[in-house]
Structure 1
Amino acid sequence: MRIHWVEDFAWAHQGGGEVHCTTNAFRDISADRSWWRAPAEADTVGPTG
């Protein structure tokens, strides 16, 4: 992981925003499992047996 620090006060806060409004994150999502495609058995709630 490489971290790059940014000076965000003039860039984000004086413009009326927060730092999360002006940052980008690049992630490798090639092996990511989509949360909205959970297995059917994960949707079942209740006692078993």
Structure 2
Amino acid sequence: MNIIFWAVVLFGSCYSFWYAYYLIKDKNKLGAFGMVLVGCLISGLSFMVRLN
């Protein structure tokens, strides 16, 4: 269960950072900032989850 959790967290954060890069190339800096914020929240808040 722990490995699946970390795989989902890593996939979600990497995907949001990749999409932010795509938005920067598309000249949408506000959307890119939002996606970077989402990626940071995914990776940051995952440390608050406690799996038994």
TM-score, normalising length: structure 1 = 0.29
TM-score, normalising length: structure 2 = 0.29
CA radius of gyration, larger in: 1
Q: Which has the higher contact order (CA 8 A, sep 6+)?
A: 2
